Amino acid sequence: MPVRIDHAERRFLLAQAVWRITLRDGLREASVRGVAREAELSMGSVRYFFSTQDELRRFAMRELIDKIGRRITAGAELRIADAREGRVVDAREGRVVEAALALLLELLPLDEERRNEACVYQAFVAEAANDSVIAELRQEADDGVRQQCRHTLESLAEFGHVAASRAIDIEIERLHALLDGLTAHLLARPADTPFARVEELLLTHLYDLGKPGYRGGHQ
């Protein structure tokens, strides 16, 4: 029995074709025929690996989330190492905050590759209203970002950069919303939001955490 094709590889290749079409012309153009053309395969071949269009789209989204997730995780591990080192070497200098900043910057579409990914991801998210499986994938990805926010804030707190009076859950939600909003703005109007501005914005946010927060109306 001839086994000539690496299924995982072929499926990934087709997912990439979906990404390219979506980035160029929108998800609506990622029809079975369109993907086949883009991947230079016949319609039948595509359908040999994905019997349904939904299956193809969902796979393409999951693969994209995994790709983004892998990069973020890799970046995060680097930054966490930096932070631990910073703690020992020179905690006063605020290296912990810098590490947290770097970690958050990892989550934003600040270079072309990330921009493209985020663009395609956004197109998938829009489909979540019509496809419950895609909605689940979206939620999963969302939870990942939220975990990252939680870790970042907990690290900052551990090193004394978050005032004890602050409600951590509120701060997680606030940071998460800030990042999602920033992402949207970076995609919609990249010119208005240069890197330096984003950096200053996030530093402003992080430094604010060190000060005592609002406590239920008492001062």
Name the residue type at position 110: L
Residue 12's binding partner among a second copy, DNA, none (Cβ under 5 to 8 angstroms by kind) is none
Number of residues that bind a second copy (CB under 8 A): 47
| Residue 25 is a binding residue for DNA (CB under 7 A) | no
| Residue 60 is a binding residue for a second copy (CB under 8 A) | no
| Residue 42 is a binding residue for DNA (CB under 7 A) | yes
Structure tokens at 98: 């810098």
Phi, psi of 87 (to 5 degrees): -60, -45
Structure tokens at 69: 């997730």
Helix axes of 168-188 and 195-209: crossing angle, nearest 10 degrees = 170
| Residue 106 is a binding residue for a second copy (CB under 8 A) | no
Number of CB atoms found within 10 A of residue 182's CB: 20
DSSP letter at 7?
H
| Residue 24 is a binding residue for DNA (CB under 7 A) | no
What residues between 73 and 102 interact with a second copy by CB under 8 A?
A: none
Q: Which of 95, 138, 152, 156 binds a second copy (CB under 8 A)?
A: 138
Contact residues toward DNA (CB under 7 A) are 1-5, 7, 10, 29, 31-34, 41-45, 47-49, 51-54
